[in-house]
Amino acid sequence: MSTEIATTQPRGLAAPSVNEAMAVGKMAAQSAFVPKDFKGRPEDCTLAILFGSELGLGPMQSLQCIAVVNGRPSIFGDAAKALVMASAICEYIAERIEGDGDNMAAVCEAKRRGDPQPTVSTFSVADAKKAGLWGKSGPWQQYPRRMLQMRARGFALRDAFPDVLRGLVTAEEAQDYTHVEPVRSEPRPPVEVRPKFAAENGPQPVEDSDPLARARLAVSRAKSIADCDRIRARAIELAESGEWTEEQAEEIKRLLFHKAEMLISEEEVAA
């Protein structure tokens, strides 16, 4: 029986809008069908569903396959492999373990269709020791071969198929990173640029030239769920083009969640 995740023609419910994702997120957060980190957290469930939909995952697949580690979304290694294998640009993925003991190493070959050679990544016991992972409590003690395999797989798939994984690291890899607070730089003076977001109600302030500030303003002036969906689509475009960081896009998505929730409440009161 195949256990691959279907992405080209997913069965079941799809959540293309903020409104629908919120409804599923609220229900999922109160159920026993989500991992413990999502229980009682409808906002996190909603954002996971929206993020997964950008990858081609259905709502329940997103909640099972996406994890937030140190504030960054990641995807479990088996789901990453399934997404890549479901893509038409993947020719094959081959994995193996070579050697024994301290000479053991995991090897992953990922062949992109049209490329002359496969991308080959190796992660050895020596690499794990150098990174301070070998013998670490948890999965590295319980399943060392599997963890070597996940590291080699993550590197190979990200190098060969960055367009499929959208820059996501595997959750197994992200969990090994030590959390470090980002260094906050001094704010730069505003630069006059062409507006990325048009205000939904009234003219755009001339002095507000920060694209993120304009996005926040557009969210605050949104009058309907359709407005929220348009703003979210623009935020996704800016993140995919590299003009925004993932953190900036996630901030706007979170603001949109609360705005949409408020609009729905207002509609219910009016009815």
For 148-194, the pLDDT digits (tens) are 999 999 999 999 999 888 878 888 888 887 544 444 555 555 555 44
Q: Is 189 part of a structural domain of the chain?
A: no
Q: Which residues are registered as beta bridge partners of 110?
A: 93, 119
Last residue of a domain, one of 34, 69, 104: 69
Q: Is 64 part of a structural domain of the chain?
A: yes
In this structure, the answer to whether residues 219 and 161 fall within a common structural domain is: no
Q: Is 206 part of a structural domain of the chain?
A: no
In this structure, the answer to whether residues 63 and 104 fall within a common structural domain is: no
Dihedral of alpha carbons 27, 29, 33, 38, sign: positive
Domain that holds residue 146: 88-168
User: In this model, does residue 32 exceed pLDDT 70?
Assistant: yes
Last residue of a domain, one of 100, 133, 168: 168
In this structure, the answer to whether residues 53 and 98 fall within a common structural domain is: no
Smallest CA-to-CA distance from 80 within 147, 182, 162 is with: 162
In this structure, the answer to whether residues 255 and 217 fall within a common structural domain is: yes
Q: What is the distance between the alpha carbons of residues 211 and 231, in angstroms, rounded to a whole number?
A: 12
In this structure, the answer to whether residues 92 and 164 fall within a common structural domain is: yes
* Per-residue pLDDT, 189: 59
Q: Is 191 part of a structural domain of the chain?
A: no
Helices marked H in 105-193: 125-130, 139-142, 144-160, 162-165, 171-174
pLDDT more than 70, % of the chain: 80
Q: Is 57 part of a structural domain of the chain?
A: yes
In this structure, the answer to whether residues 92 and 163 fall within a common structural domain is: yes
In this structure, the answer to whether residues 96 and 161 fall within a common structural domain is: yes
User: In this model, does residue 2 exceed pLDDT 80?
Assistant: no
Q: Is 154 part of a structural domain of the chain?
A: yes
CA distances from 40 to 27, 35, 43 (A): 10, 11, 9
pLDDT 10s digits, 87-123: 999 999 999 999 999 999 999 999 999 999 999 999 9
**In sequence order, what DSSP letters do the residues of 179-246 get, joined into one string?**
P-PPPPPPPPPP-----SS--SSSPPPTT---HHHHHHHHHHH--SHHHHHHHHHHHHHHHHHTSS-H
DSSP 8-state class, residue 170: B
Q: Is 241 part of a structural domain of the chain?
A: yes
Q: Structural domain tally of the chain? A: 3
In this structure, the answer to whether residues 64 and 92 fall within a common structural domain is: no
More confident residue, 172 or 211: 172
Q: What is the distance between the alpha carbons of residues 63 and 13, in angstroms, rounded to a whole number?
A: 13
Q: Tell me, rounded to whole angstroms, the distance of Cα 73 from its chain centroid.
A: 4
Structure tokens at 52: 């997964």
Q: What is the distance between the alpha carbons of residues 28 and 41, in angstroms, rounded to a whole number?
A: 9
Q: Which residues are registered as beta bridge partners of 66?
A: 75
Q: Is 218 part of a structural domain of the chain?
A: yes
In this structure, the answer to whether residues 98 and 157 fall within a common structural domain is: yes
Structure tokens at 211: 């694209």
Q: Residue 148: helix, strand or coil by DSSP?
A: helix
